[in-house]
Structure 1
Amino acid sequence: MKVQLYAPPTPEFDASVIIMLAIAVFTVAMGGFWSGAAEKAKQSVTALHAGEERTDSGDLTLYSPLKVLLFVVLMCVMLVLMYFFYKYLVYVIIVIFCLASATGLYSCLEALLNAVGCSKLSVSCGEKSFSVRNLLLAAVCITLAVVWGVYRNEDRWIWILQDILGIAFCLNFMKTITLSNYKICVILLSLLLLYDVFFVFITPFLTPNGESIMVQVALGPGAGGEKGGGDVVVPADPTPSYEKLPVVMRIPRFSAWAENLCEMQFSILGYGDIIIPGLLVAYCHRFDVWIGSSNRIYYVSCTVAYTLGLVLTFVIMLLTKMGQPALLYLVPFTLLTSGLLAWKRKEFKQFWAGTTYQVLDSSREPLIPDGDAEYPSTVRKC
């Protein structure tokens, strides 16, 4: 008796890649739009309350190259620690993700309700007042984060909730963390490009099993697959022998569903491939607000560049049949597009300096008014 196992041929292209592309572009576009809208609202508040110091903002601005370098170094150290102490630190990352994703989802839903004009319905209790709407939102967000934490290994359906929480996390990150100028954008994205390439392509020559540190950490020990849209085989057993980090968007491959009932295959994309270029898109939209661009030329151009860079990433992944560090293509596309656009519009100096340029410009104006005719123009500009 002869027994043979038959496996249908797996198609090179799967529709899950299109969905992954749509999720990534939507997240980047919405994160950049939200950041620009927040900057416009901030300017309106500043105009209404001129001279008052704003202290209620929770945004964090990166304006120092030294801080950017320290940030990247800390990322490298954390990744290496995760590689060597994965089974201990993975639970720390899971707890942090639950807290950060619940906070991000709360911020997104609150902004959405404010945009549609939903009232807060405040209730007073003694001297304190509480918003019923905000309490309900907080309860929903915390519940979803706890549900994900409890059922995080139920791969048949939990990927939906993980992607929702991941989108909220990325949106809130891009709105909260702001880059002050294009110089900081160039430094940060270039360093993270080197970081991504090194830990994907170089570290396989340094590890005992020939696996890159990035893939090993992103997918968990013992998991197969590649970073940047590759496939990872996930056993149907709901209790795997290892925990997986919640650092990727996951979309099941539709062709694998029809061919295999015992295991699932996912197309994946790391959060960093969304957040890092998204910070540049957010800066471009804020710059549009600063210069009063009605057509949002920088924001739209950078978003289109991100889309083309991600399409190129997926095309090369399909042609080479191996995962790609997406920042290798996204960083040049977005940086060159925004920089060349600023140069073409003769706004590169202002685009490079960002908010610093505006502060210096405005600080010169009150010193000598333009109407003072007894001083030559060259003195006023000195």
Structure 2
Amino acid sequence: MDEVSPFAEVLGQAIYQFTLIKPLLPTYGHLLVSALFPIYIGAHASLSKPSSAAKSPKKSQEDGYESDTEEDESLGDTHKMESLAPSDALMFPLTAGLTLGGLYLVIKYMGADLLNKILGYYFSQMGMLFAIAFLKDCFAVIRSFFFPRKYSGSGRIWKPKPAERVFQGARDDGSSSESLEVRHSPLPGILGAIPLPHTVRAALWTCREVAYWRARLRIHVHRLLHAECWLSVLDLLSVAVALPAIGYFTFVTKPWWLTNFLGFSFCYGTLQFMSPSTFITGSLILGSLFVYDIYFVYFTPLMVTVAKTLDVPIKLLFPRPAGPGEAPDTISLAMLGLGDIIIPGMMVGLALRFDLYLYYKRKGMHKAQAQGNGSDIVKPVYQSAMGGWGERFWTRSVTPSEPELEPPYHDARSFPKPYFTASIVGYVLGMLATLVVMQIFDHPQPALLYLVPGVLLSLWGTALVRKEVHEMWEFSDAEEEDEDSSVTDAETKEPVEAGKQVSLFSRIFSAPKEGSERPPKSDEANDESVDGKSDKKESPEKLELFTISLYHPRKRETSKLKAPTERGQSPEDDENWALVGTAERDAEPPAKRLRRSPRQH
């Protein structure tokens, strides 16, 4: 009998393992896509103006047209990201280890029932905020596909005029849209060519107006509270969906798909407000958690026990076929911890923001050369890189022959992303290695053991190949203060040593210094800055004790906006505020109720 060659033996073993893993391929595909989904959307949602770009000036709105950046200016790019310091690389594994050990002891000696209830209520409250934000952005993306702010067709760019309920076309070369044809359908692209009855078309325009409706909500309680926020139909719809979902998860049952929904929400929100400010800090944090994950998975039963016992949204669950020896109707679930998504996802998001930084840096170099400034640094004007998914789908952009030095840039939202792509490839390879090793050894694997080397090697390797290691080493994602606000910030903030970065845990646990707190300005002082009169001189019955007002901004013509008012006030002073609820205001003069407060919260 002939001996089997080594190649044939290896090939036979590979075929055997593939036969075993074949029923699990849908589960592993589901797991991989579910891990990439929050990383991709969270990284893009974390984009903001890089230090290589200049702040975009406010633009006046064209007569009758919707603004392409109206929501981006008022609602987008406003999140405050917590920058992690190198010291957090030590604190993260320590606090995570202590928390994990405490949970394990509680489960071992007191049982998991009470702990699941307490943590369930806590995560339901926190999950409400994250779920509303996640759903709102999802609805905004869906809206942009059905009712985009612009689309291209027949060699023109079509923009809506809501007041006239038409789309008016402008040529791709930017020529005037006067005397050009209009389209009466609110649907974009080929959908707009479908003949619709007038009643249906009017109903669709009404739906479009409702989808973009926004109002500003102001709540004022004398000496206690003054808050303002934008309120839209998407907010109300998100609350209407999130409330029953959270209630069902907390008080009824916890299906795997609802657990994954809350897990997506947590990952999406976390990746937007927490990130390392430099690649060095990120590499240190991933390296420390790399050691932490290996120790608690391989050498202790803590992580596996806690993950399997707690029924809270700290993991993603995936249905899988029943194992050998189990009944066919047995419900079996594979799981992936949220830490295996958030920790590498922070570096992926940082890589995407580094791509945006390089995009504007190169554009600034072209602008400096065009202006003849030589080696001087010229910052190009920033254009929002967030959103616009539907507009990008319906609008065909033509690559210009020369570099664009002023907005709008055709590739502002689709800028080159070599480092983001490399980090995604490294994450996928690390996750595939995790699944293969877990299948071969039939033992839970610490995913960070494979994800951390995959992400870090792909990022630093790409920088080495592109000869941009120095750029990556020196890059900092820390927010820069605007020059206009430097004087105000100097009065309200404590002096901080130059170049000193305070870690996240230091900001959480440190107590404020004596004398650092300033007494808040009273309502009377703020009111004096508006109308020059002190509330102290007014009788108590004329005070604004409690009001809830809702303001819906109305579109005005440009000529009216530019014309001065009789009192010499700006157009913002003439805003219409609809008084929804109030207490003890009968004797209050009308001018008092319409006064705008400079306080923003």
Cα drift, residue 257 of structure 1: 12
Q: 2:330 aligns with which of 263, 268, 288?
A: 263
- The question of 1:147 aligning with 2:263 is answered no
- The question of 1:47 aligning with 2:56 is answered yes
Cα drift, residue 66 of structure 1: 1.5
Question: What is the CA–CA distance in structure 2 between the aligned matches of 1:83 and 1:298, rounded to whole Å?
Answer: 39
- The question of 1:119 aligning with 2:192 is answered no
Cα drift, residue 277 of structure 1: 0.7
- The question of 1:289 aligning with 2:356 is answered yes
Q: Secondary structure at the match of 2:316?
A: strand
Q: Secondary structure at the match of 1:65?
A: coil
**Amino acid of the residue matched to residue 333 of structure 2?**
F
Structure 1: stretches of 5+ with no match in the other structure: 1-9, 50-55, 204-211, 221-242, 364-382
Residue 89 and residue 43 in structure 1: after superposition, are their counterparts in 2 closer, same or farther (change >3 A)? farther
Question: What is the CA–CA distance in structure 2 between the aligned matches of 1:201 and 1:89, rounded to whole Å?
Answer: 25
Residue 126 and residue 141 in structure 1: after superposition, are their counterparts in 2 closer, same or farther (change >3 A)? closer
Residue 59 and residue 265 in structure 1: after superposition, are their counterparts in 2 closer, same or farther (change >3 A)? same
Q: 2:345 aligns with which of 278, 284, 297?
A: 278
- The question of 1:301 aligning with 2:425 is answered no
**Amino acid of the residue matched to residue 105 of structure 1?**
A
**Over the residues paired in the alignment, what is the CA RMSD in angstroms?**
3.4
Q: Which residue of 1 aligns with 2:321?
A: 254
Question: What is the CA–CA distance in structure 1 between the aligned matches of 2:328 and 2:41, rounded to whole Å?
Answer: 36
Deviations 1:160-189 (A, max 9, x none): 111122112111111221221101111110
**Amino acid of the residue matched to residue 188 of structure 1?**
I
Q: 2:308 aligns with which of 219, 224, 233?
A: 219
Cα drift, residue 353 of structure 1: 3.0
**Amino acid of the residue matched to residue 29 of structure 1?**
Y
Q: Which residue of 1 aligns with 2:127?
A: 101
CA contact (8 A) 1:252 1:264 kept: yes
Instruction: Give 1:228-243 correspondences, 5 Å limit.
Output: none
Q: Which residue of 1 aligns with 2:94?
A: 73
Residue 119 and residue 66 in structure 1: after superposition, are their counterparts in 2 closer, same or farther (change >3 A)? same
**Amino acid of the residue matched to residue 317 of structure 2?**
R
CA contact (8 A) 2:352 2:417 kept: yes
- More displaced 10-residue stretch of structure 1: 97-106 or 122-131: 122-131
Question: What is the CA–CA distance in structure 2 between the aligned matches of 1:329 and 1:125, rounded to whole Å?
Answer: 50
Q: Secondary structure at the match of 2:333?
A: strand
Question: Sequence identity, in percent?
Answer: 26
CA contact (8 A) 1:59 1:178 kept: no
Q: Secondary structure at the match of 2:265?
A: helix
Question: What is the CA–CA distance in structure 1 between the aligned matches of 2:325 and 2:441, rounded to whole Å?
Answer: 24
Question: What is the CA–CA distance in structure 1 between the aligned matches of 2:268 and 2:138, rounded to whole Å?
Answer: 12
Residue 295 and residue 142 in structure 1: after superposition, are their counterparts in 2 closer, same or farther (change >3 A)? same
CA contact (8 A) 1:256 1:264 kept: no
Question: What is the CA–CA distance in structure 2 between the aligned matches of 1:357 and 1:268, rounded to whole Å?
Answer: 34
Residue 124 and residue 252 in structure 1: after superposition, are their counterparts in 2 closer, same or farther (change >3 A)? closer
Q: TM-score, normalised by structure 1?
A: 0.72
Which is higher, the Rg of structure 1 or of structure 2? 2
CA contact (8 A) 1:200 1:325 kept: yes
Residue 183 and residue 268 in structure 1: after superposition, are their counterparts in 2 closer, same or farther (change >3 A)? same
CA contact (8 A) 1:284 1:298 kept: yes
Q: Which residue of 2 aligns with 1:82?
A: 103
Q: Secondary structure at the match of 2:87?
A: helix
Question: What is the CA–CA distance in structure 1 between the aligned matches of 2:219 and 2:251, rounded to whole Å?
Answer: 37
CA contact (8 A) 1:170 1:274 kept: yes
Structure 2: stretches of 5+ with no match in the other structure: 1-18, 59-76, 149-210, 221-227, 361-414, 484-601
Cα drift, residue 341 of structure 1: 1.1
Cα drift, residue 78 of structure 1: 0.7
| More helix, by proportion | 1
Deviations 1:17-49 (A, max 9, x none): 1211111122222222222xx324998783338
Question: What is the CA–CA distance in structure 2 between the aligned matches of 1:134 and 1:43, rounded to whole Å?
Answer: 33
Q: 2:311 aligns with which of 244, 247, 260?
A: 244
Cα drift, residue 356 of structure 1: 6.5
- The question of 1:27 aligning with 2:38 is answered yes
Q: Which residue of 2 aligns with 1:316?
A: 437
**Amino acid of the residue matched to residue 39 of structure 2?**
V
Q: Secondary structure at the match of 1:122?
A: strand
- More displaced 10-residue stretch of structure 1: 108-117 or 257-266: 257-266
CA contact (8 A) 1:122 1:132 kept: no
